[in-house]
Structure 1
Amino acid sequence: MWRSVASNALTLFIVLLVVAAGLLALGRERFSGPGPLTEAICVRVERGDSLSAVSRKLEEQGAVSDARIFRIGADYSDKAAGLKFGSYLVPPAASMSQVLDILTAGGQSTCGREVNYRIGVLTSEIVLRELDAATNSFVEVAKFDPAVAEAPAAYTELAGEDDLRWRVTLAEGVTSWQVVESLKRAEFLEGEIAEVPPEGTLAPDSYEVTRGGDRAALVAEMAARQSRVLAELWETRSPEAPYETPEEALIMASIVEKETGIPEERPQVASVFVNRLAQGMRLQTDPTVIYGITKGEGALGRGLRQSELRRRTEYNTYVIDGLPPTPIANPGRLSIEAALNPADTDYVYFVADGSGGHAFGRTLEEHNRNVAAWRRIEAERGQTPPVGVQSD
């Protein structure tokens, strides 16, 4: 009898082991296998959320098929206590294991809302936008220029959210004065900026910041980034580049930056100015004249006058020889690269061609034909051609 009981007990134990092993294998398969999501969603982890609360939320949102398996898997992988506050993008068919990795990785939120302060050449604007998880694209919620308008309610109501991402973006061609003045109006930053950095020394780029971050520290990062870019590209410069110092290249890059917004044209524009220097010609470029008038403190807002083109200033390249004394804006990486590696051309002239780009010329006769074509285009549009035509 006892042998029979023992045998039955052993059989039952083996069966239970088999069942447990099967359940464990099934649990592992469901934990690591494709999840139920058919499209991406945003999952928000609140501060202080427990694993149980998060697992229930994931099940309710359809991100996991079984909250219990998700909790067991988190415990088994020693990540149960590693949940990070924030909003996270969970892709379609993400396994429970992948979801757990996403929620415990830390760093910037990958979903939810973002504030981007775009500092531009003519205007600056604060843009609040939200990620549409289904399309993985941002939808604009609110936008305003802090220099001329108060923050809309949509912005003020959401700006205090803890997991809101913050970014400051500098456009290529902004001046250092514009950067400093714009940052002063960034209410989400703190601290003073002691002085306007030298022109050209700030890198046009996008910068992750935090609410309450230090303005001076941000400017220092902009300067450090531009310094690294210039040093890196200086080492790859063309042997024919006519600069004695990286600073001279930065001056040329700023001129190229202000002359064209088309990336593909920049090496050609740079070649015009390099060729002019080689032939002893003056640069004759309007943006330098404008900088001599405005000192980079805002846009001129009108065309140049003949008297201004004739007036001697250290930035009037219609009058002075060679480069102006400093950059006239903060050039981006592509313009610095173009200045250091200009295209191999015979061009010494260029003028707008009506399409947003420029027509280049090797001789004055060719250039005059291009200018005449440009003036006809302007006349057809009912516009008065500017007094100064680039490089004429």
Structure 2
Amino acid sequence: MGVDLSMTISLDRPETSTATTTTTAATTATKARIIGVGTAVTPTSYAQDELLDLLQITDPKVRSVFLNSAIGRRHLSLPPADDAGVRVPEAQGDLLDKHKRLAVEMGAEALRICLERAGAELSDLRHLCCVTSTGFLTPGLSALLIRELGIDRHCSRTDIVGMGCNAGLNALNVVAGWAAAHPGELTVVLCAEACSAAYALDSTMRTAVVNSLFGDGAAAIALRGDDLASAGSAAGPRILDFASCIITDAVDAMRYDWDRDLGRFSFYLDPQIPYVVGAHAEPVVDRLLGRRGLRRSEIDHWLVHSGGKKVIDAVVVNLGLSRHDVRHTTGVLRDNGNVSSASFLFSYERLQHEGVTGPGEYGVLMTMGPGSTIETALVQW
């Protein structure tokens, strides 16, 4: 995973055994450690039944999708109603403007909270990686936030755009490597998803699946590379490994593409996605754990993407998890809906607030999204 900067073989000591060298390298290897997390949402939230009335949805099948979603409330930025009380769909240009505004606002707030919890300042930041799939920005969100917050203009940055709900772990994989290669320096992954800017307001079943599920949210997670010998008793977990699986037979099952009838971009989610994801969850998780000689029963904490009720149920059944294992996942879905790439970090924040993690315990982070893709990470406190 990360780059091993510590292993040095001394040429003037040929008697040093391979076993000794390997042990020393393993003891002092640099790993990325999570040291802080923060989340933010847009100001206005709506209950599911309230949205049905606001959007004037009367079709019984569409109403059923909303009311059987296991979602209580979501944060959304809806267009204002016209004189007749109708929420008029926004033009694509207006949606892009909304995405830019909300991503910067939520992203800045999540970043501030994250750094405060990490005991760090904006001036400490050395690398910023921004993730979003709900709009397109050039220059990227990282550049906009550096200007907005007055971050050092020499801060290195990365933008990951369009990978979808799984992208937070894709970014974490890349940035964990950066942290390991730059011991002691602070880096942040920021996921900012203005899902309100990707809504197509109509009463069709295609858009109902999306409009009943997603909410606005941003989350930031701070990492720092340290070695196992000098880390002390810091509470944050180290990131040990990653494993991925792309289900190429389902490449079109989740997509954000141009809807010619509506004249805007629109999400599409295939109804079979929960079962496709569930069927592939077991092999990728077992591959992740098998490299460390671990079994699923040895994992103390599961932080799964809040992809939707059926997705969560499919993962629970296929991995043999309990409802307690996914309590934070279902809690995030209930209170925020699916906040795309930021969802698993909302769950991680809840776990941190719960204060139940102990030294040596393992956790699995898991996200799912377009590709179709499953991403996983193994962490240890």
With normalisation by structure 2, the TM-score equals 0.20
Higher RCO structure, 1 or 2 (CA under 8 Å, sep 6+): 2
Larger radius of gyration: 1
With normalisation by structure 1, the TM-score equals 0.20
